[in-house]
Structure 1
Amino acid sequence: MKFSESWLRSFVATECSGDELSHLLTMAGLEVEEDEAVAPPFTQVVVGHVLEVSKHPNADRLNVCRVDIGNGTVQQIVCGAPNVAVGMKVPCALPGAVLPGNFVIKVAKVRGIESSGMLCSAKELGIDEDASGLLPLAADAVAGDDLRRLLDLDDRMLTLKLTPNRADCLSLTGIAREVAALTGARAVFPEIAPVAVTSEVTRPVALEAPAACPRYCGRVISGVDARAASPEWMVRRLQRSGIRSISALVDITNYVMLELGQPLHAFDNARLAGTVRARMARPGEKLLLLNEQTLELAADVLVIADDEKPLAMAGIMGGEESGITLETRELFLESAFFAPAAIAGRARRYGFASDASHRFERGVDFELARRALERASELVIAICGGQAGPVSEAVAELPQRTPVRLRSARVARVLGVDFTPDAIAGLLTRLALDCQREGDDFVVTPPSYRFDIEIEEDLIEEIARLHGYDNIPSLPPRARLSMLPQSEDARALSRLRQTLADRGFQEVINFAFVEEAREADFAANANPVRLANPIASQLAVMRSTLLGGLVGTLQANLRRRQNRVRIFETGRCFLRSEQTSTRTGTQVEGFEQPWRLGLLAFGGATPEQWGSPARAVDFFDLKGDLEALLLPAVARFEKATHPALHPGRCARVLLDGEAIGFIGELHPQWVQQYELPQAPVVCELELAALTRARLPQFAEVSKQPPAIRDLALVVDHELPLQALLDGLHAHRPALVQDIRLFDIYTGKGVAAGKKSLAFRIVMQDTQKTLQDAEVDAAMQQLIDYAHQAFSAQLRA
């Protein structure tokens, strides 16, 4: 909302300086985004009256002028402006004047003719960009008057950055109400009285969409002079509000909109047929707007129409075919209330915006339409002449203002300031709110122009604004704190992150919404959870796996020549699931959002160095990282398949018999499709399983020396190592403390289809040193079990 400070002060005569006023509005929530001068500083520029104009004897494009500068003083000034003429009033910079840019005017000779001053254009004074000729002044301007005072050039232009809830401040009246409430100054607004009805010409109106347009007023004004000039004071106020002057009738509607906040529209009454109706657009209807854009109107667009055609997009923009022109002699003036929901978003849908739509979609005073129509009628008759006909009005059910209860105790608790009920009453009175006092409580009925007051907190905000945010003390928060319990059977996510960082991984964060193709590739998910309003067309579904994001991060790093990448991510995935309705007990579609951890390793197993040979990271490197992450728990790994992974290099991860994720190399198909130089090793695990910790259990530490034996067993090549290890652990004698694989061998000395597995057996007793007989018996027990369960043979 842009406006001139002098216009505002004509409504409310506050003693605040310009800077104080800007600060006051900003601290009240009406942020002053721009505060600029109407014109830059200049001195000694007065009104000049051109008395004579003659050609310069030594220059074709120059004129010698005799100019009255007041008090009977006439100066000779050489001027090159093409529009200089006898009798016109123009700005005249006297000798000694300092113009914008520190340009000093002196008495000088121009082509041999003395010139005592300079006649100025708007650009030379910094008022406008027009440099085509002299700035013409009003014919009644008095020669010698100071130009800054005449044109009010010490005025300032303020631009408020309003939040959408403060639609009541999209007018000078609304801003003046705020200033009056903030400063205690008295606001004085123009008196609006019904104009005298001097014509019987009328046009009926009807509401065919009463929910979208509950009130519509119109009046025919006959015999207007559309060519009449807009008053200079009106043009000046419009220009300083960022609106270009077009014609007197258009300027009047814009002026009333800025003054009162009610958008208006003027139709050429001769172009209308029958009743003017507020209705929804019909299928296939098109409308040529004033901006020369032809639209095919959707069914949810509210239009103003007559008996034959649509005339305007209601509350947004008028149509070209019914608009006023300089030939208009009879106009139909419209003033209406349109429901915000019926206007919101319609202009943006068609790629444009208007001052009217900006106001209506935020909420316009629904009691203002009739008063604004009378104010506009008064200005039309005063400037363009004419005879006003009776007002045609149709009213349906207008919005209801629901009373809001405000509790004094609640104000004190929210703001931290002990307001007395009398203080609260005084602040509400300054806001001109209709309130009834009930003890220490207040029942406030919001006025028709305040759509933002709906709940108690809205009124508390008003109290805070008037009291002043600067006056609310900053108190340290006070609360009773208690130590939260920390369970020993849970691990913090920060510990997992730190463990991975210690092992050379870096954390990444990817979008939870991904490309649909990646969901199909890495999760074989043909029915992902779709977004209703994606931020980008390609990011249209929610992820069900972290792999797509990790591979995307790998690609980004490879494009930047990072050849060794070790990354991890924790985040939610989104899956469809059936859930039981608590209301009906039936199965309904729902969603699961498991929290997962994803790992990816690519490139060298170690950073490039001289101390060890270079080799690519493999399955077992990431498996070791995973086992370190799970300590002290021990996971099992079983061969499995996964749509994203190599069919022969993929394993399911089990913890305490529960599948918690998978690990493996990326499938060769995706390596090729995503243009990766080698296959990364990836892992994805359920975070809930990783954050569970086993409670520590006491075990006595033996002081006796251990007995260590090696056991080499020949088994079938297809036998999984894990099955043999599980069996040996389950059937080990009590004195066997550890069984660890240290060698796998196939080749000479081992039959085809067989493999040799060598285990290191550690035996120890807490009470005594083990004897050879006890050790041999334990070893034989393990050998016998392996032979019976797996047909294992001792390697010769």
Structure 2
Amino acid sequence: MRVPLSWLAEYVELSQGTTPEDVHAALVRVGLEEEEIHRTDLSGPIVVGEVLEFVEEPQKNGKTIRWCQVRVAPEGETAADGGESVHGIVCGASNFFVGDKVAVTLPGAVLPGPFPIAARKTYGHVSDGMIASSKELGLGDEHDGILRLTELGLADAPVGADVIALLGLDDSAVEINVTPDRGYAFSIRGVAREYAHATGAAFTDPAEAFDRPAAREGGYPVAIQDQAPIRGRVGASVFVARTVRGVDVSRATPQWMSSRLRLAGIRSISLPVDITNYVMLEMGQPIHGYDLATLRGQIVVRRAEPGERLTTLDGQDRALHSEDLLITDDSGPIGLAGVMGGATTEIGDGTRDILIEAARFDTVSIARTARRHKLPSEASKRFERGVDPNVASNAADRVAQLLVELAGGSVDEETTVIDDAETSGAITLPEGYVSGLVGFEADREETIAALREVGCVVDDSAADLAVTPPSWRPDITERADLAEEVARILGYDRIPALLPVAPPGRGLTAAQILRRRVADALAAWGATEVLAYPFVSAEQNALFGAPDGDTPEAVRVANPLDATVPFLRTSLLPGLLAIAGRNQSRGLTDLTIFESGTVFRPARGRSYGQRELPAGSARPTPEQLAKLQDGIPPQPRHVSVVALGNRLPKRVGESAVPAGLADVLAAVQVVALATGVRIDVTQGSHHAFHPGRTAALSVSGAPIGFAGELLPAVARSVDLPRTVAALELDLDAVIAAAPATVAASPIQVMPAATQDLSLVVANRVPAAAVLAAVREGAGELLEDVRLVDDYRGQGLEEGTKSLTFALRFRSGDHTLTAAEASAAKLAGSALAGSRFGATIRE
């Protein structure tokens, strides 16, 4: 909303020297948002000139210029630039005549650009100034000819008068951002009231200059027939129709009006249209005018019927929707109510009688219509935020008054007024409520005074106040809104700025600490953390959601953003692979990425959905919270890693090292070290992973995830290279198994004894199981055991393999003998033999 300061000053007192910056600062104090300041960037001398004579001089370039003699000061007086009263000026335009009054920029003037004016020699003459066009003065885009003041109704302007003041170019405007809940600020009336709240300046309501009549008939016949109200609210609750006859639409819009409209961001069109726009800006009530001669019978406000169409004022033929609220007569639709009028009843050059419409339409209906037809307008912008139902007749009277004064019309005495607007009920404001909500002490007298200042009617006969909001504030519906108004008026600066003190002992939980430690460890290891969308398709959930190939239960979103991915994820891998593919397509071929996030694992056979929400006026009870929690599926937190490309790039003398299964297994150990949990890795299987290159992950025998290399077909389906390694861990399960404390291993001072052990077992026996048996059987002396060789071939029976383990033994209090180390090794071998039939390879 742009607010010219001269217009604002008509309804609220602006002290001498008030600048646009001052107005912005005042409006910000009451919660409005400042945007820009609009000024006309020019300086004088720019004066009224009279064309005395001119000579047309054709030029060699084909152009014809006029050598003009222009009087720029009364005869015998010195011009504003100190020169003679008659100046010789070269002009390239030809749309003016001898005797015309024009705007002359004299030497020393500066036009927007900046473009300084000086006497200069051109076309064989010294041009002592310039005759200006509308565009050069910042009045509009018209640049085909010079500005003739006669066309602006200023034929009697005295020669030498200051054009800047005459055309209102010395005015400025402040622009504010009006939030959806404060539609009343889309008017000079509303902004003036807010400025008065901020400064205490005297405010004059322009609507109070006119009486508000009771509902009556007698004017142009009008009926409201809304058979399809939205949200149970009829589309039109107020409709005022006034007739003005004998209007001269050819008269020019007064300069003061067109200047204010221009500063407010609205283009001058014609006198009747400019008057309706002017009143809309002034009072916040959109007005529409009809050519009375084009109306056919009674005006009916109703919804559109099937197949109806309407050509609006912008020339577009529009197919109407059954929810569209229309203005109709016997000929059919003549306007989209509250949005735009129809072309058939448009005011034109031949219009003599005008019917004025001022109405109040339902906010939701107008908002839907404007968006449905992609037709935002100044009127719909106000209607969809809510207009004052009590100002419609006042605004219609104001339009009629201006038409009489400026266009020579006469007003019919009969007026149609339909007024079915509901009045706001009183809101109970308990004693002490405001202070408890806003955070500072507001006593009873201050609260009452603040509410009355914003227009509320306050009944203070009881301890609890009964407050009726003003008609122009449909946004005030509950006591919290009243508290906000009190805080606005008394000043937001009274609200103390206090930082809450954290209760002692309430830092991060143990689980939160471990989750952060895991993410930090993976990032330090070299992986990049990413955040994927949680929405996937049924196929993606089936591919990764369950290792055994069963289709997991999944939560379907009721209103998905994308119909192709309507489910919540049961695995993190689909999102990670999509991110990897996107980076791969942009040339980032070597990637190791991870995500720590929740997955959604509903129990099979259970239905989940929204439960009844408790009222917001009180804290939910434990029972209510339990019911809400029961409607939420389990959301365990997982961590997943995807690695592809090269782990180490090719270097001089070294080949590239591709990423693979070993890398994601290393990531498993990173998670294990970060949490202090021992994660066991065994041979596994997964329908999306390569057979023989898939590991099952477990803690104390309980499965917690899997790792491996994707099947080439799966990798190809997501546009990734042949080898892609991935893992997924149930991080909540890992954290649940984490010890409360992790003790550091002591530094050993005794020497270690190392020995190798080669065991022959059947191919089907997992090496990890044999290693576990050796570790268990060797006892406390065994410090470390690692698999160093897996041999299958000549020298072994078919169907067997040789596993070689490197063992390190150490005692904490003495140097081990070879016999002690050998005895421990043989004990480990014996346990592996009893469990898996392992024999020592000779």
Shorter chain as denominator, the TM-score bin is 0.7 to 0.9
Deviation for aligned residue 1:461: 3.5
1:359 pairs with 379, 382, 404, which one? 382
Could you tell me which residue of structure 1 aligns to residue 835 of structure 2? Answer: 789
AA aligned to 1:436 is: D
Does residue 1:621 correspond to 2:663, yes or no?
A: yes
Does residue 1:83 correspond to 2:95, yes or no?
A: yes
Indicate conservation of the 8 Å contact 2:785/2:807, yes or no.
yes
Q: Structure 2: which 5+ residue stretches go unaligned?
A: 78-84, 612-622
Deviation for aligned residue 1:657: 2.5
Write out per-residue CA displacement over residues 353-409 of structure 1, whole angstroms, 9 at most, x where no aligned residue. Answer: 111111111111122222222222333343251442533333445253442526557
Could you tell me which residue of structure 1 aligns to residue 705 of structure 2? Answer: 661
Within 2, Cα distance between the matches of 1:610 and 1:385?
94
AA aligned to 1:83 is: N
Could you tell me which residue of structure 2 aligns to residue 6 of structure 1? Answer: 6
AA aligned to 1:75 is: V
Write out per-residue CA displacement over residues 253-305 of structure 1, whole angstroms, 9 at most, x where no aligned residue. Answer: 21211111011222334444443232222233222221222222222222223
Partner-residue secondary structure (3-state), 2:148:
coil
Deviation for aligned residue 1:490: 7.5
Write out per-residue CA displacement over residues 623-665 of structure 1, whole angstroms, 9 at most, x where no aligned residue. Answer: 1331232134222334444343223322231112222221110
Does residue 1:120 correspond to 2:166, yes or no?
A: no
Could you tell me which residue of structure 2 aligns to residue 129 of structure 1? Answer: 141
Partner-residue secondary structure (3-state), 1:344:
helix
Indicate conservation of the 8 Å contact 1:71/1:144, yes or no.
no
Does residue 1:724 correspond to 2:770, yes or no?
A: yes
Within 2, Cα distance between the matches of 1:303 and 1:476?
53
Does residue 1:202 correspond to 2:220, yes or no?
A: yes
The alpha-carbon distance between structure 1 residues 273 and 652, as it changes in their structure 2 partners (threshold 3 A), is farther
Write out per-residue CA displacement over residues 712-766 of structure 1, whole angstroms, 9 at most, x where no aligned residue. Answer: 3221111222343455556666776665433322122211111112345566777
The alpha-carbon distance between structure 1 residues 195 and 772, as it changes in their structure 2 partners (threshold 3 A), is closer
Within 2, Cα distance between the matches of 1:317 and 1:366?
20
User: Aligned ranges for residues 204-353 of structure 1 at < 5 Å?
Assistant: 204-209=222-227, 211-219=233-241, 221=243, 223-225=245-247, 227-232=249-254, 233-307=256-330, 309-353=332-376
Indicate conservation of the 8 Å contact 1:269/1:330, yes or no.
yes
The alpha-carbon distance between structure 1 residues 760 and 400, as it changes in their structure 2 partners (threshold 3 A), is same
AA aligned to 2:739 is: R
Could you tell me which residue of structure 1 aligns to residue 80 of structure 2? Answer: none
2:414 pairs with 386, 390, 406, which one? 390
Partner-residue secondary structure (3-state), 2:520:
helix
User: Aligned ranges for residues 33-112 of structure 1 at < 5 Å?
Assistant: 33-43=35-45, 45-50=46-51, 52-53=52-53, 55=55, 61-62=65-66, 64-65=68-69, 67=71, 69-70=73-74, 75=86, 77-78=88-89, 80=91, 81-93=93-105, 101=114, 103-106=116-119, 111=124
Does residue 1:499 correspond to 2:521, yes or no?
A: yes
Indicate conservation of the 8 Å contact 2:544/2:571, yes or no.
yes
The count of residues paired between Structure 1 and Structure 2 equals 790
Could you tell me which residue of structure 2 aligns to residue 411 of structure 1? Answer: 435
- Which has the larger displacement, 22-31 or 657-666? 22-31
AA aligned to 1:644 is: A
Deviation for aligned residue 1:672: 2.7
Could you tell me which residue of structure 1 aligns to residue 505 of structure 2? Answer: 483
TM-score under structure 2 normalisation?
0.83
Indicate conservation of the 8 Å contact 1:39/1:127, yes or no.
no
Indicate conservation of the 8 Å contact 2:221/2:298, yes or no.
yes
Indicate conservation of the 8 Å contact 2:439/2:496, yes or no.
no
Indicate conservation of the 8 Å contact 2:226/2:234, yes or no.
no
Within 2, Cα distance between the matches of 1:54 and 1:195?
58
Could you tell me which residue of structure 2 aligns to residue 741 of structure 1? Answer: 787
Write out per-residue CA displacement over residues 600-626 of structure 1, whole angstroms, 9 at most, x where no aligned residue. Answer: 222334455569764323313321331
Indicate conservation of the 8 Å contact 1:651/1:664, yes or no.
yes
Indicate conservation of the 8 Å contact 2:777/2:829, yes or no.
no
Write out per-residue CA displacement over residues 128-170 of structure 1, whole angstroms, 9 at most, x where no aligned residue. Answer: 3333333222123233322222222210022212222211100
1:713 pairs with 755, 759, 765, which one? 759
TM-score under structure 1 normalisation?
0.87
Within 2, Cα distance between the matches of 1:67 and 1:37?
29
Indicate conservation of the 8 Å contact 1:741/1:760, yes or no.
yes
Deviation for aligned residue 1:21: 1.4
Write out per-residue CA displacement over residues 642-701 of structure 1, whole angstroms, 9 at most, x where no aligned residue. Answer: 343223322231112222221110210033334434412111112212333124588998
Identity %: 32
Deviation for aligned residue 1:35: 0.9
Write out per-residue CA displacement over residues 522-547 of structure 1, whole angstroms, 9 at most, x where no aligned residue. Answer: 55879965656666777765443322
Indicate conservation of the 8 Å contact 1:709/1:761, yes or no.
yes
Indicate conservation of the 8 Å contact 1:212/1:341, yes or no.
no
Could you tell me which residue of structure 2 aligns to residue 466 of structure 1? Answer: 489
Could you tell me which residue of structure 1 aligns to residue 174 of structure 2? Answer: 158
Write out per-residue CA displacement over residues 152-206 of structure 1, whole angstroms, 9 at most, x where no aligned residue. Answer: 2210022212222211100011111111121111122441247999x96521322
Within 1, Cα distance between the matches of 2:109 and 2:810?
108
Indicate conservation of the 8 Å contact 1:566/1:601, yes or no.
yes
Q: RMSD of aligned C-alpha atoms?
A: 4.0
AA aligned to 1:69 is: A
- Which has the larger displacement, 506-515 or 246-255? 506-515
The alpha-carbon distance between structure 1 residues 550 and 62, as it changes in their structure 2 partners (threshold 3 A), is same
Within 1, Cα distance between the matches of 2:593 and 2:471?
58
Indicate conservation of the 8 Å contact 1:34/1:158, yes or no.
yes
Deviation for aligned residue 1:127: 3.5
Within 2, Cα distance between the matches of 1:644 and 1:143?
90
Indicate conservation of the 8 Å contact 2:247/2:354, yes or no.
no
Partner-residue secondary structure (3-state), 1:626:
helix
Within 2, Cα distance between the matches of 1:568 and 1:574?
18
Deviation for aligned residue 1:434: 2.1
Within 1, Cα distance between the matches of 2:107 and 2:811?
115
Could you tell me which residue of structure 1 aligns to residue 590 of structure 2? Answer: 564
The alpha-carbon distance between structure 1 residues 499 and 579, as it changes in their structure 2 partners (threshold 3 A), is same
Partner-residue secondary structure (3-state), 1:492:
helix
Does residue 1:553 correspond to 2:579, yes or no?
A: yes
Within 1, Cα distance between the matches of 2:194 and 2:583?
56
User: Aligned ranges for residues 416-435 of structure 1 at < 5 Å?
Assistant: 416=440, 418-435=441-458
The alpha-carbon distance between structure 1 residues 644 and 290, as it changes in their structure 2 partners (threshold 3 A), is farther
The alpha-carbon distance between structure 1 residues 412 and 601, as it changes in their structure 2 partners (threshold 3 A), is same
Indicate conservation of the 8 Å contact 2:240/2:418, yes or no.
no
Partner-residue secondary structure (3-state), 2:25:
helix
1:22 pairs with 5, 11, 24, which one? 24
Within 2, Cα distance between the matches of 1:193 and 1:109?
61
Indicate conservation of the 8 Å contact 1:579/1:590, yes or no.
no
Could you tell me which residue of structure 2 aligns to residue 635 of structure 1? Answer: 679
Deviation for aligned residue 1:569: 1.5
Within 1, Cα distance between the matches of 2:800 and 2:509?
48
Indicate conservation of the 8 Å contact 1:42/1:125, yes or no.
no
Could you tell me which residue of structure 1 aligns to residue 530 of structure 2? Answer: 508
The alpha-carbon distance between structure 1 residues 748 and 195, as it changes in their structure 2 partners (threshold 3 A), is closer
Deviation for aligned residue 1:349: 2.7
Does residue 1:650 correspond to 2:674, yes or no?
A: no
The alpha-carbon distance between structure 1 residues 384 and 669, as it changes in their structure 2 partners (threshold 3 A), is farther
Write out per-residue CA displacement over residues 472-496 of structure 1, whole angstroms, 9 at most, x where no aligned residue. Answer: 4764525363023777788522211
